Amino acid sequence: MQQTNFLEEERLPTIRVCALHAFAYCPRLFYLEEVEELYTQDAAVFAGRRLHEEIEVQEDGQWEDLYLEDELLGLRGRVDALRKRDGQLIPYEHKRGRSHRDENNQPQPWESDRLQILAYCCLLEVTKGITITEGRIRYHSDNVLLHVPLDDAGRKLVRDSIKAARELRASNYRPPVIENEYLCSRCSLSPVCLPEEARLAHNKEWQPKRLFPADDERQVLHVLEPGTRVGRTGEQLKITHKDQTQERVSILQVSQLVLHSFSQLSTQALHFLAGNDIGIHFISGGGRAM
């Protein structure tokens, strides 16, 4: 009977290492992505990808990457930074952010990052038939390199996490929002998950925090005087009044441009604004939006 269960488990689709990372970060995040197939990508996700590309360019040829999958372990993933040190193969994980600090202010890996690098170590072991002694995580914001040893407790943690993740993937139960609100503020899926709304629904006294969109400190620029011309000069908008006096406004300060009555916008400025995702609104003298 046990053998049958084992074989059935063996046939289950493997879990991605990055999904295991999500599982350790927040089970609800794992469920939304893996079961409900809801994915969003915020600026932090793209910044993380850029970091990997920059490392590849800066250290051309020094890193290897490998796609690995093992059905028996139930795991698959791409080890995207692999190095040989003192004859040992060591997987690295690069993180854009900061390391966790313990009560003595010593840098430590975040639990989800630790599980991720241990999972890569286990994948390498079982697919290559070699012993991996450690993985390493570099946190770029505080420039910390951490060694994460792989021991039997680490191997068990990986196997137990894969089992728990598979069980959650097979269930119809979407986990509740996580208690640690700090994690939500850094979660790319918060616009889909709506954790603050869920907390408010369960607790009318809850004071929701704004998680998205990020506060926009740019201003809406209104051009009120008829006959004003708006053009572009470098990275600025050049506003020429009817009496030929000029003002310049950095594009970084503008979120929307509203042109009232008979003001004009040059083609260059129009392209410039559109290219920077800045909305352009035309309002007639009678107040009608055009």
- Torsional class of 74: left (φ above 0), alpha (ψ -120 to 50), beta (otherwise): left
Asked if 122 and 131 count as a contact pair (C-beta separation under 8 A), the reply is no
Angle at CA 115, nearest 5°, toward 112 and 116?
85
Minimal distance, residue 27 CB to ligand SF4, in Å? 8
| Angle formed by the axes of helices 152-170 and 17-25, nearest 10° | 90
Nearest to 91 by CA among 57, 61, 53, 125: 125
Minimal distance, residue 74 CB to ligand SF4, in Å? 23
Minimal distance, residue 83 CB to ligand SF4, in Å? 32
CB nearer to ligand SF4: give 123 or 211. Answer: 211
CB nearer to ligand SF4: give 43 or 153. Answer: 43
Asked if 175 and 168 count as a contact pair (C-beta separation under 8 A), the reply is yes
Instruction: Give the ranges where 59-150 is alpha helix by DSSP (H).
Output: 111-128
Cα gap 2→238, rounded to integer Å: 76
Minimal distance, residue 191 CB to ligand SF4, in Å? 9
CB nearer to ligand SF4: give 82 or 183. Answer: 183
CB nearer to ligand SF4: give 199 or 232. Answer: 199
- Among all chains, which residue has been given the structure tokens 């916008």? 265
Residue 169's beta-bridge partner residues? none
CB nearer to ligand SF4: give 66 or 178. Answer: 178
Nearest to 28 by CA among 171, 222, 242, 214: 171
CB nearer to ligand SF4: give 28 or 136. Answer: 28
Two tokens, residue 43: 């600026």
Minimal distance, residue 22 CB to ligand SF4, in Å? 8
CB nearer to ligand SF4: give 190 or 263. Answer: 190
Nearest to 280 by CA among 216, 207, 192, 220: 220
Minimal distance, residue 195 CB to ligand SF4, in Å? 4
Minimal distance, residue 187 CB to ligand SF4, in Å? 3
First to last CA, the chain: 72
List residues near ligand SF4 by CB under 6 A.
26, 28-29, 32, 177-178, 183-184, 187, 189-190, 193, 195
Q: Are strands 88-95 and 134-139 parallel, antiparallel or unpaired?
A: parallel
CA torsion through residues 202, 207, 209, 213, sign: positive
CB nearer to ligand SF4: give 17 or 187. Answer: 187
CA torsion through residues 121, 123, 127, 129, sign: positive
Minimal distance, residue 171 CB to ligand SF4, in Å? 16
